[in-house]
Amino acid sequence: MKFSNLKLSTPYLNLLSIFYEKVEPTPLDKPFLISISKSASQLLGVDEDLALDSKLLEIVNGEQKLEGSEPFAMCYAGHQFGDFTERLGDGRVINLGKVNGQNLQLKGAGLTLYSRLGDGRAVLHSSIREYLMSEAMHGLGIQTSRALALIGSDTDVVRDTREKGAIVLRLSPTWVRFGTFEYFYSIREYDKLRELADYVIDESFSYLKANEEAEELYLKMYAEIVKNTARTIAKWQSVGFNHGVMNTDNMSIDGRTIDYGPFAFLDDYDPNFVCNTTDTQGLYSFRNQPSAARWNLNILARVLSPLMDYELSEEILTNTFWSTYTQIYMEIMYAKIGLEIEHTEDKELVEGMIRTLGSSSIDYTLFFRKLSRFNGDKSDILDACVNREPFDKWLDKYTIRLEKETLSIAQRQRKMLALNPKYVLKNHILQEAIEKAKKHDFSMVNELLKVALTPFDEHLTLEYLCKLAPMNSKNMQLCCSS
């Protein structure tokens, strides 16, 4: 199947018109293709080479339509840094339709009813970041929206400085957000809330549907959202990912990661790290991500209360969120350090390791990669620490603990190397790729795509993509401008 031969359907348009605006994309000037992800295209059943599809560029630029496509923007609300905004919506995203369980949308494709004071555009630098991080998150095995193509253009877009406009073609099984429900709750349109819940159950949770009473079904849907969200956040914490803008409008209803803005991977472990300069209170600091997710889930319970018993949903949240989060996080951390058999001292060993990471000044990703090759000789890890002493002691405890394991060293190393990425998209590397892209050299973007999709593999010619941040730019903050 060729990409340009795909046939789309638009089930979201079966909802009442209050849910969306039908709107055509506004193409960019002199568009050009920067990068394509074959991996993402496979989700759509595309098996012909995307690079040879002459219509791809025009479709991503909104100049041509796939068969069945009826473009629209979705309406939603959201709590942004704790404050409620009743009317947000796709201000610069235009949805094209759905195929193979994936909803296609163009980010940066022009004005919509929901653009407010914005220009409907996305600049090149933020589009490169979103495109690559979507694919990298998938490469890390974490639920996420995907990105199939990135195009640049000659259209000027004014932010802090003048930049060029770009468009990312994004895919997701759902683009409904917590904020979509908040909108209909805030305008007291409870029948619309029910309509949306039924749509979400069909789209994302149809496996729950066996003969349930309606209220029971909504509660089950909510329980799934709680679990999925807890799982995704546990995975973020395990890889050291800071999302940066966990507003309820950026929370996917099926718990996957969406809307990549000023994200960061930790350099040295600092639980108080806040990647987003706008977040002056540290609401979405690395440490706060699980509790921010829980706070958002509590908002969701409240806005779903016209459909289900609020006390019961609160009970679900209380009983499920932290237990799911902790169980998944600890399971991942045990696996990351190569522990197969659970022992009573393991929790303390992991907690001790996290404390030690905080006091050793060693890159978070590098530590686990080096630990994956640990064979009893501590020097390789200690040489990477600014402060050697804490890990000197911890590795002694770890060595003793490993003696209780039954796998051979080689078996353990193989398993750990498949769980501890060599490549994560650090901001200083992304910035290098962005600077080159601004000069029309997209080679680094495409090299980053390769390691993003296969982060656990060695790529001998691409080693420079995992170089550490210079001392003076470790755990740097980014601004929201996009």
Range 185-189, long-range pairs (CB < 8 A, 24+ positions): 185/302, 185/303, 185/304, 185/306, 186/77, 186/84, 186/86, 186/303, 187/86, 189/18
Q: Which stretch binds ligand AMP (CB under 6 A): 41-49, 115-123, 161-169, 218-226?
A: 115-123
CA distance 447 to 457: 14
Residue 231 C-beta: closest distance to ligand AMP, Å: 22
Of the candidate residues 180, 204, 248, 250, the single one contacting Mg ion (CB under 5 A): 250
Does the annotation place 107 within a ligand binding site?
A: yes
Instruction: Please give the backbone phi and psi of residue 265, each rounded to the nearest 5 degrees, phi first.
Output: -95, 140
Q: How many CB atoms sit inside 10 A of residue 233's CB?
A: 27
Q: Does 283 bind ligand AMP (CB under 6 A)?
A: no
CB 237, CB 290: distance < 8 Å: yes
Q: Which of the listed partners (Mg ion, ligand AMP, none) does 258 bind, with a CB threshold of 5 to 8 Å by partner kind?
A: none
The whole-angstrom distance between residue 420's C-alpha and the CA centroid of its chain comes to 18
Residue 274 C-beta: closest distance to ligand AMP, Å: 16
Nearest in space to 122 (alpha carbons), one of 284, 259, 275: 259
Query: What are the CA-CA distances from residue 94 to residues 25, 106, 191 (Å)?
Result: 6, 5, 26
Instruction: List the catalytic residue out of 249, 254, 270, 279.
Output: 249
Of the candidate residues 45, 82, 118, 271, the single one contacting ligand AMP (CB under 6 A): 118
Instruction: Please give the backbone phi and psi of residue 319, each rounded to the nearest 5 degrees, phi first.
Output: -80, -25
Q: Does 245 bind ligand AMP (CB under 6 A)?
A: yes
Q: Which residues contact 435 (CB under 8 A, 6 or more apart)?
A: none
Q: How many CB atoms sit inside 10 A of residue 373's CB?
A: 14
Q: Does 324 bind Mg ion (CB under 5 A)?
A: no
Residue number, 247 or 420, with CB nearest to Mg ion:
247
Nearest in space to 89 (alpha carbons), one of 117, 64, 124, 114: 114
Residue 233 C-beta: closest distance to Mg ion, Å: 17
Residue 83 C-beta: closest distance to ligand AMP, Å: 13
Q: Does 259 bind Mg ion (CB under 5 A)?
A: yes
User: Within positions 64 to 103, which residues make up the interface with ligand AMP, using CB under 6 A?
Assistant: 88-92
Check if 29 is active-site: no
Query: What are the CA-CA distances from residue 79 to residues 83, 246, 298 (Å)?
Result: 5, 9, 12
Residue number, 248 or 420, with CB nearest to ligand AMP:
248
Residue 260 C-beta: closest distance to Mg ion, Å: 9
Q: Which of the listed partners (Mg ion, ligand AMP, none) does 119 bind, with a CB threshold of 5 to 8 Å by partner kind?
A: ligand AMP
Instruction: Please give the backbone phi and psi of residue 275, each rounded to the nearest 5 degrees, phi first.
Output: -80, -20
Q: Does 182 bind Mg ion (CB under 5 A)?
A: no
- So which residues are the catalytic ones? 249
Residues annotated within the binding site for ATP are 89, 91-92, 107, 119-120, 170, 177, 259
Q: Which residues contact Mg ion by CB under 5 A? A: 250, 259
Q: Which residues bind ligand AMP (CB under 6 A)?
A: 88-92, 114-115, 118-121, 245, 250, 259, 261, 482
